[in-house]
Structure 1
Amino acid sequence: MMLVEATTAFLLVIDVQERLLPAVANNVAVERNCAVLLKAASEMEVPAVVSEQYPRGLGKTVPALAELVGDDAIFAKVEFSCARDLGLMAHIEGLGRKQAILCGLEAHICVLQTALELKRRGFEVFVAVDAIGSRADSSKEIARDRMNAAGIAIVTAEMVVFEMMKTAAAPQFKLLSKLIQ
């Protein structure tokens, strides 16, 4: 498993939506860590993509995260796996990047299925475990174990940020290290 590389990675924020997030265990930390990843991606020029599972029923992406990405990077879907949505996958493939950093909801459904499908399609997949959530902690734990067994890298938001920066001499260090505190 390689390190996360800012030049070859993209961030995929999965289904952190208005009607779903409040039901998720540790939702405040999940939202905060997703925001850290989005801010770091912006600073490091890593493309970010956001999915919304059936937004008519589950609402839009929570405002704190939606304001960190452009509308053209938000994709509505009905498939659980982002990799099964043709428009979303066309956008991802168009980025020309082979490392996928995943965060979002729910760990045992959409995040898990997306991670497994992207891995099957040849992507190197990193899941920020402190930026994913499920309604039940046990569901998240089982999803994490299953992804790990499938060869998907289980990381934290902080690991991703510092791996992308590589050095304290990076121009983004001062700003991004403050996000982690």
Structure 2
Amino acid sequence: MTAGAASVKTDPEPVRDPHTDHLLTPDNCAVVLIDYQEGQYATVGSASREEIDLGAVTLAKLARAYEIPTVLSTVAVGMGVNRTTVPEIADELPGVAEIDRTGVNSWEDADFRAAVEATGRKKMVMAGLWTEVCLAFPALDMLREGYEIYPVVDAVGGVSPVTHRTAIERMTQAGAQPITSLALGCELMRNWARPDADLYRVIINDYFARKRAIGEKTDTLFR
């Protein structure tokens, strides 16, 4: 090898223990999606529905591809007030049953708590509409209960930009660790030379295809 030439690397680095890793792995986290319903989308003002779905659908795809335990919740469907989870999200999570509630704070619902506890995980990757209520309230409660909370900030939205930002700040100050959907994918995948890296390649290619479509529609590649 000539002086200064870089060695060619094609083998992945050793895999850290996926259960004790301080970073997120498919084996140490669970995904929680709360209130992705038509009525919630209709009142979000911090981002467009397309922008939210870019992250939220990516999150759902990651949960399915990496077989991560997933909790899906709705509010007021049984009361006849709201409709079920929008198909963009639900179709990515076949076999995941919805947990309907009457309250705005999902952690106060016994069935929701039981579903979270049944995952056996303490790292919770969470997203919900609105950021300041349906995501923030259970996140704050779960932090108090000893869970590690990772809000997926590009998959959520609030009534306004200020309510969304304030909710992220509130959760962060309480100990939550904000993350984005693509960053989560990289954290789960970790190494391009691993045999399962194609799981993420498919998802990231879909993400950028949808992002380009949004950019063409709005004449800008947003934030």
Q: TM-score, normalised by structure 1?
A: 0.93
Q: Is 1:63 aligned to residue 79 of structure 2? A: no
Q: Which residue does the alignment assign to 1:30?
A: 52
Alignment of 1:93-112 (within 5 A): 93-112=117-136
Normalized per residue, the structure richer in strand is 1
Deviation at 1:72, TM superposition (A): 4.5
Q: Is 1:176 aligned to residue 203 of structure 2? A: yes
Question: Contact 1:125 / 1:152 at 8 angstroms: preserved in 2?
Answer: yes
Deviations 1:56-81 (A, max 9, x none): 21221111111122455211012222
1:155 aligned counterpart, secondary structure: coil
Matched letter for residue 167 of structure 2:
A
1:142 aligned counterpart, secondary structure: helix
Q: Which residue does the alignment assign to 1:6?
A: 26
Q: Which residue does the alignment assign to 1:138?
A: 162
Alignment of 1:34-49 (within 5 A): 34-49=56-71
Q: Which residue does the alignment assign to 1:21?
A: 41
Which sits farther off after the overlay, 55-64 or 101-110?
55-64
1-structure distance, mates of 2:200, 2:36: 27
Stretches of 4+ moved more than 3 A in 1? none
Q: Which residue does the alignment assign to 1:50?
A: 72
Alignment of 1:144-163 (within 5 A): 144-163=168-187
2-structure distance, mates of 1:40, 1:136: 27
1:168 aligned counterpart, secondary structure: coil
Matched letter for residue 133 of structure 2:
I
2-structure distance, mates of 1:123, 1:147: 13
1-structure distance, mates of 2:200, 2:156: 24
1:13 aligned counterpart, secondary structure: strand
Deviations 1:124-173 (A, max 9, x none): 11001111111211110110110111110011111111111111123223
Deviations 1:51-105 (A, max 9, x none): 1011221221111111122455211012222221101111111111111001120
Deviation at 1:36, TM superposition (A): 0.4
Q: TM-score, normalised by structure 2?
A: 0.76
2-structure distance, mates of 1:137, 1:160: 23
Identity %: 25
